[in-house]
Amino acid sequence: MINIGTHVSSSKSLDLVFDRGREVRAQSIQFFLRSPRSWTSVERKEEEKELFVKKSRTYNISPKVAHASYLYNLASPDENLFNKSLNGVIQDLKLCEEIGIDYYVIHAGKTKGESKESGVERIKKAFEKIFRDIPLKRCCFLVETLAGQRGEVGESIHEIKQLIEPFEGVNIGVCIDTAHLFASGYRIDRENGLLEYKEVFDNLIGLEKIKLIHCNDSKVPFGSKKDRHEHIGKGFIRLEGFRVIVNDKLFRTLPFILETPKEGNMDIINIQKLRELEHP
């Protein structure tokens, strides 16, 4: 049986992510360490961190995934934004290491009109400082595959390779997003297309670097280069596409995290839909 989880709110107290995960029957959880739309840093009190660690040991929910703020942009040519993003990631990773977060997922950055080459170099410069300042012992740093909108770096396997290849000795990997891959031009909704994607990824990077799957349907058509998530089976990937994905020999061994719209009890429904697509 595949491990299916979802993104949950971390508002009020970080330890509540476990309770919110349990409410929707999630086996794994993802959450923000701070508001994804604000630069305000939240000071986590010792009691809150202790509660998180305690629940982490007693709740059967794993892995625990933290997602970086959407405001971070390690590809930015704006020095102020670049440095704020860099410092934010370092602060996040310190907390991840302290409380035992398994994975930290980041959208590496957008070029904002600059070339992709310059964006890649700025991201690698940021990574060098981050990994120098924070030796990752417990938490694995995951670069997410992106849809390619507005100059995003990480839409292709080649770009992901450029970002992670220099850091072979670091605890680093890749989070693939089904909606992003589909929108960026990878036909993962078909068995032959998924096989081709895996073959290219294995040749360029190595399939062992894929650690996590963001499982989202796409509200926009194939190759549209837009990041728009939809409920499972209600978008262009369709239920048949997810049947291919969840039964793939490699993917079914990895954690699936839903990032579908938060509407009513749709987390429970989306998890159940994926369960029904699993082959025995």
The residue length of the chain stands at: 280
For 239, the 3-state DSSP assignment is helix
Range of the domain at 70: 4-277
Q: How far is CA 118 from CA 111, 125, 161, 163, in A?
A: 8, 11, 15, 12
Is residue 138 within 8 A of residue 103, CB to CB? The reply is no
Residue with tokens 């909108």: 149
Ramachandran region of residue 225, left (φ > 0), alpha (ψ -120 to 50) or beta? left
Q: Label residue 261 exposed, middle or buried (CB < 10 Å: 0-12, 13-18, 19+).
A: middle
CATH of residue 92's domain is 3.20.20.150
Tell me the pLDDT of the chain (280 aa) as tens digits: 999 999 999 999 999 999 999 999 999 999 999 988 889 877 899 999 999 999 999 999 999 999 999 999 999 999 999 999 999 999 999 999 999 999 999 999 999 889 999 999 999 999 999 999 999 999 999 999 999 998 999 999 999 999 999 999 999 999 999 999 999 999 999 999 999 999 999 999 999 999 999 999 999 999 999 999 999 999 999 999 999 999 999 999 999 999 999 999 999 999 999 999 999 8
Q: Please give the tally of structural domains in the chain.
A: 1
